[in-house]
Amino acid sequence: MAETQSRPRFVRFGAFEADVQTGELRKDRVKLKFGGQPFQVLAILLERPGDVVTREELQKRLWPDTFVDVERNLNTAVNKIREVLGDSAETPRFIETLPRRGYRFIGELEAPVQPVVPVVRVERDRGPRRRQVWMKIGAGVLAISVIGLAALVAYRWRRPHRTQEQAVLTAVPFTALPGFANSPAFSPDGSRIAFAWNGDPAPGTKGFDLYVKALGSETLLRLTRQPSEWISPAWSSDGTQIAFHRMAGADTGIYVVPTLGGPERKLLSTRLPGGRAPFSGISWSPDGKWLAFVDVAPDENHGRIYLLSTETLATKQIPTNPTCVREGFPAFSHNGEYLAYCCFRNDFEAALYSFSLPDGKPKMITPFWPLASGLTWSADDAKLIYGRWKGEYLGDLVEVSVSNGSAKRLGLEGVRPAVSPKGDKLAYGSLSIDSNLWRRDPLHSEAPPEELIPSSRAQYAPQYSPDGKRIAFASLRSGVQSVWVSNEDGSNLVQISDPNNVSGSPQWSPDGSKIAFDSFPRDRWEIYVADVAERKPRKLITNIPSVVQPNWSRDGKWIYFVSHEAGREGVYRCPASGGDATAVSKDIHGFNPRESFDGKTIYFASGATLKKVPLPGQPGTESEVDASLRVASWTLSSGGIYFVPADALKSVRYFEFATKRIRTIFEVDRLLGTGLSLSPDGRWILYSQEGDESGDIMLVDHFR
């Protein structure tokens, strides 16, 4: 009978001994604090001493299907190996770096590690009958192997994303209410869920109030009666109170209310801006002493995380993280030792961080998708789960390992996750928002609007072609945010971007033959250019790897874009055929660049401020267009700017360059979505407008 020889368990080099079975490293028989990814990297290098192991091979072995910052993780692992081994990159004794290629183990091994390939010892011949038996068994094993290999290849070939997938999870509605229910929070015993719901306001009012519902019951307990823009709850550890962050104009702040009903009490006023306030989530520490929340200081424009003492009502800011422009989604671990949160380095780059309480140094867990919504710990504090927006109106849930930063999708569409204290249940908010494309005559605002390209899925960011005969836009009609093109009347609808990748921000070339757009195919945003006739996107090659929001120069020779690569944020341009990019503005908040009609100036938004900067060779300096302009969406005309004000999201207005006056073009009864476009003849304004909004709390039983 055949025997299988396993690889050697111990590998010795110098004063070190690696136990490849337990993942331990010892020096002079003393166990070192060393493991995880650094040990895995070392073990792979030890398998092939003297050979170059490429960075690509290490990525495939360690992070085959996860969206982590491989470059950062690998550099961190190698630096840790060198630190533990007392090695040096300049004069290596063990680990040699080969620039742009990989790494090589150059030390002498006493017992080299063999690759994990079985070594078969063949017994002596036992006769024809025995050979026939083994031939049949071998044929069966071979057939099964071939079938398995084929299935594996088919699976990997057809799978649209590189992120690991969780085993299939089944979610059922916890609420089935009219209107919109969201922001779930489990009680300490896991028997009840608090949530925000806007389906039962008092006559003449609208907004969200706080409710509690027990699992297995349809009875609702209403705890507040002040409809608000948004509410985010958190339970006290003893289950007697619920704290919540209310968004309600002058009444915005942190409140508490008894869980069985009673008067609410305001603890603190906060200054978060209005709207849906994605950063309004709060977390209550297990010892009951602190509430973590986001607020905007009077002298700042972006949210920071603070701790509110429930005993003294004093506040303090968490340890400063200089890499964060803003912070959000604080979450205490169940053991009370850590606080996790999201760090936003700019408008397009973010990372998950945690620090040990009370004043530890922030430590990065992993880079992550910046359009996030909600963050929670698993019951054992080994993982973090967050919601992310795959498109403007579509989200899914992702689980991240705290130890190594690896991430995987849970296969659930939703936002704002919450895990029960025992870890056996997962709740989250589902979301459905209609957002469709409309057009209106800016010279005759009394004329009724016309809806274009109706869909049950959200559509936004519309753009007229230079001849006004076609429209490019972003849509979720296929389930993934993609770029689509149609005739101006909505006919002849075709998809331009890769159906597997989130894509958006379409912009026509001046001759109308191409469309540039941004896409997220792997672990970063990139820009692609598609020939409209061929419908084959091609990546724009430039020296900045992470770029978004393309726009063309008037002569078609340049493509402007926004870089969110750390250290090189700002507005750039590169040749339309590809090539090195040069900076137009180093404003780290710059987005949506557009060239003026005379080709001498670039306009872009910085937050809600609209700015302009002269192109190279033109006089002038970077400046605000006008102090009165605060924009959410905008587009240029030859004589001025059409825009949606940041503080009036149901209005389209016009700023005239010559007079610097602002006038209202038209008002709508629903919130306006992303994107404005003026037809070339000036007859139509194309825009997106939100429709009905609905959603329920979904519940996954047997989560772990």
Using DSSP, state whether 534 is helix, strand or coil: coil
Backbone phi and psi for residue 526, each to the nearest 5 degrees, phi listed first: -135, 165
**Helix axes 70-85 and 55-62, enclosed angle (nearest 10):** 100
Asked if 655 contacts 640 with a C-beta cutoff of 8 angstroms, the reply is yes
Q: What is the pLDDT of residues 594-613, one digit of tens each?
A: 999 999 999 999 988 999 99
Q: From CA 358, how far away is CA 313, in angstroms rounded?
A: 17
Region label for 685, one of left (φ > 0), alpha (ψ between -120 and 50) or beta (otherwise):
beta
Q: From CA 688, how far away is CA 461, in angstroms rounded?
A: 7
Give residue 134's pLDDT. 34
Structure tokens of 337? 């030792």
Q: From CA 472, how far away is CA 367, in angstroms rounded?
A: 31
**Residue stretches of the chain with pLDDT short of 70:** 1-9, 21, 35, 63-72, 100, 111-167, 273-278, 347-348, 369-370, 390-394
Eight-class DSSP state of 166? P
With tokens 């799978």, the residue in question is 159
DSSP-assigned states of every residue in 346-412: SSS-EEEEEEETTTPPPEEEEEE-SSEEEEEE-TTSSEEEEEEEEETTEEEEEEEETTT--EEE-S-
The pairing of beta strand 432-440 with beta strand 192-197:
unpaired
Give residue 646's pLDDT. 86
Using DSSP, state whether 639 is helix, strand or coil: coil
Give residue 5's pLDDT. 39
Give residue 563's pLDDT. 92
Taking alpha carbons only, the member of 432, 423, 473 closest to residue 456 is 432
Count of alpha carbons within 13 angstroms of residue 541, beta-carbon side = 4
Q: From CA 270, how far away is CA 249, in angstroms rounded?
A: 10
Give residue 380's pLDDT. 94
Q: Would you state the torsion angle of the CA atoms of residues 405, 406, 409, 410, taken in this order, to the nearest 10 degrees? A: -80
Q: From CA 578, how far away is CA 555, in angstroms rounded?
A: 15
Backbone phi and psi for residue 361, each to the nearest 5 degrees, phi listed first: -85, 130
Taking alpha carbons only, the member of 335, 282, 285 closest to residue 311 is 285
Backbone phi and psi for residue 95, each to the nearest 5 degrees, phi listed first: -110, 115
Q: From CA 665, how far away is CA 208, in angstroms rounded?
A: 31
Taking alpha carbons only, the member of 192, 211, 346, 182 closest to residue 277 is 182
Between the two ends of the chain, the Cα-to-Cα distance in Å is: 41
Q: Domains in the chain and their CATH numbers?
A: 3-119 (1.10.10.10), 180-422 (2.120.10.30), 461-625+672-689 (2.120.10.30)
The helices-and-strands tally (H runs, E runs) of the chain is 4, 58
Give residue 151's pLDDT. 31
Q: How many residues does the chain have?
A: 704
Using DSSP, state whether 36 is helix, strand or coil: helix
Using DSSP, state whether 128 is helix, strand or coil: helix
Give residue 162's pLDDT. 39
Q: Which helix (H) or strand (E) holds 573?
A: strand 570-575
With tokens 């900045």, the residue in question is 544
Give residue 23's pLDDT. 77
